[in-house]
Amino acid sequence: MLEFLILLTAQAAAPDAAAPPPTPPKCEGEPYEAFDFWVGEWDVYPHRADGEPAKVAESRIEKVSAGCAIRETWMPLRGRGGTSLSAYDPDTEGWHQLWVGGTPGRVFFDGGPVDGKMILTGPWGKAADGTPLLVRMTYSLRDDGSVRQHGQASKDHGPTWTDYFDLIYRRKD
């Protein structure tokens, strides 16, 4: 009888091998989809008002990790490429991006959606005089389906901004 009770106790304490593991939370809904307008295959051009500029890069932006992150693969026609990984964090209620380029180091950006645009800010590079720069990137969906990535830099950590780069992502045919 003692053996039977020991066996019964062991079976009750053992996890049910047939029970499926708990389902992880899904990365769905408005906060997780705020940057989906950037997902696609793109030809990238400098943003200029005068004439048709030459293409400077191609970029593949895709949802990865069960839809919980957005990965960019940046493929410039000249120079080294890079990759960014962007994700919404429900704990901070913000978006975070890690950029790793073709040179040593990495850059972290933080931010989120503002009036339908994605705005991410982080320390990146130095001015000609050696002053560290704070860079603000604003991604906006345009009426023609293209996406503008407008980068601005600040030497005084935010009170004043100057244009740093300005790109247009056009969907590949």
DSSP string across the chain: -HHHHHHHHHHHHS--TTSPPPPPPP--SHHHHTTGGG-EEEEEEE--SSS-PPP-EEEEEEEETTTTEEEEEEEESSS--EEEEEEEETTTTEEEEEEEESSS--EEEEEEEETTEEEEEEEEEE-TTS-EEEEEEEEEE-TTS-EEEEEEEESSSSSS-EEEEEEEEEE--
pLDDT band at residue 1 under the 50/70/90 scheme: low
Residue 49 placed within a domain: yes
- Structural domain including 102 reads 45-171
pLDDT band at residue 15 under the 50/70/90 scheme: low
Residue 131 placed within a domain: yes
- Answer whether 162's CB lies under 8 Å from 40's CB: no
Residue 30 placed within a domain: no
Looking at the chain, the whole-number percentage of residues with pLDDT higher than 90 is 76
Is residue 58 predicted with pLDDT exceeding 60? yes
- pLDDT for res 173: 81
pTM of the model: 0.84
Number of domains composing the chain: 1
4/71: higher pLDDT: 71
33/48: higher pLDDT: 33
- pLDDT for res 105: 85
**Whole-number Å distance between alpha carbons of 130 and 53:** 30
Residue 28 placed within a domain: no
Residue 142 placed within a domain: yes
- pLDDT for res 3: 56
